[in-house]
Amino acid sequence: MDALFGPDDAARWIAVPREGDDKYSRGVVGFVTGSATYPGAAVLGVEAAARTGVGMIRYLGAGRPTRMVLQRRPEAVTVEGRVQAWVLGSGQDPETLDDAARAMLELALGQDVPTVLDGGALDRRADAAGLVLLTPHAGELGRLIGVDVAAIVADPAAAARRAAAEQNATVLLKGHTTHVASPDGELLRVRSAPSWLATAGAGDALAGVVGALLATHAELLAADPAAIAALAATAAVLHGLAAERASAGGPLTILDLAEALPRVIAELLIGA
């Protein structure tokens, strides 16, 4: 199957809190992202998850990114504990990662919860105990499957499908149009966001959006793991609509995109 996935589809994949909910029943997303080298990636992922809506965010990392995350989002909890989904690797270079973050990464990989592998954790699929979503851009996917980036750009759908089959994981290939491929060959396409979105940090925010969606659908994913593809595509839709709103035809910053997320989600729910 090869299908377009749009706002009407995305509206069905947003978990609306109910009267009986508390922060834990809504779901907790954990981040092991960012580093002394790229602390901003940690801030952007956490910010985007907070604006997508989730019961709680745990951030586990080195001192500098932790301080920056807390400065931007005092709601984040920086102690270990149970989570319903992980976001790993954005803004991390395995070569230079400090020991504390490395230990957190190993701890997270060992847990059987839905896990987003991004940036420096893209090659850790074999070590991940949970259901995995990989979120590469074309260059990263090229390195992962040993294919020239030009071939990926020429046929992103085929590349995403090949990677999903080889890695036995769902793959969200970023780009002008986003392609989400499942290991069984199913493909969802999310129409292009404004090209103003081609700016540093956009992918770090996308990882945060999808992390929040996975954590808030933990029970559903346990019953139906294949739903991870629709949740990944939903993240791309929300990210694209928020980019459109933040851009309004001109340039955008990633914090503007994150700020636009709550209204985008509210409007999708009202229209659903």
Stretch that binds ligand NPW, among 74-82, 161-169, 196-204, 230-238 (CB under 6 A): 196-204
Please report whether residue 208 would count as binding ligand NPW according to CB under 6 A: no
Residue of 204, 210, 228, 252 that binds ligand NPW (CB under 6 A): 204
Compose the 172-211 pattern: x for residues touching ligand ADP by CB under 6 A, - for all others: --xxx-x-------------xx-x-xx-xxxxx-x-----
CA 84 to CA 26: how far, in whole Å?
A: 9
Binding site residue list: 41, 91, 137, 174-178, 203-204
Strand partners, 86: 30, 115
Are the beta carbons of 204 and 19 closer than 8 angstroms? Answer: no
Q: What's the CA angle centered on 181, arms 177 and 184, to 5 degrees?
A: 160
Which lies closer to ligand ADP via its Cβ, residue 26 or residue 189? 189
Q: From the CB of 156, what's the least distance to ligand NPW, in Å? A: 15
Q: Which residue, 57 or 122, is less far from ligand ADP as judged by CB?
A: 122
Is the CB of 126 or the CB of 200 nearer to ligand NPW? 200
Taking the chain, what is the end-to-end CA distance rounded to the nearest angstrom? 24
CB pairs under 8 A, 24+ apart, for 179-186? 180/5, 180/229, 180/232, 180/233, 180/236, 181/157, 181/229, 182/226, 182/229, 184/226, 185/1, 185/161, 186/1, 186/2, 186/226, 186/229
H/E stretch holding 231:
helix 228-247
- In the bound state with ligand NPW, the residue whose beta carbon lies nearer, of 91 and 130, is 91
- As measured in angstroms, the least distance from the Cβ of 242 to ligand ADP is 11
Q: Per CB under 6 A, does 139 bind ligand NPW?
A: yes
**Which residues, 6+ apart, have CB-to-CB distance to 217 below 8 Å?**
13, 15, 27, 227, 231
Partner that binds at residue 198, options ligand NPW, ligand ADP, none, CB closer than 5 to 8 Å by kind:
ligand ADP
- Residue 91 near which of ligand ADP, ligand NPW, none (CB within 5-8 Å, type-dependent): ligand NPW
- Binding mask 64-93 vs ligand NPW (x if CB under 6 A, - otherwise)? --------------------------xxx-
Residues that bind ligand ADP (CB under 6 A): 137, 174-176, 178, 192-193, 195, 197-198, 200-204, 206, 239
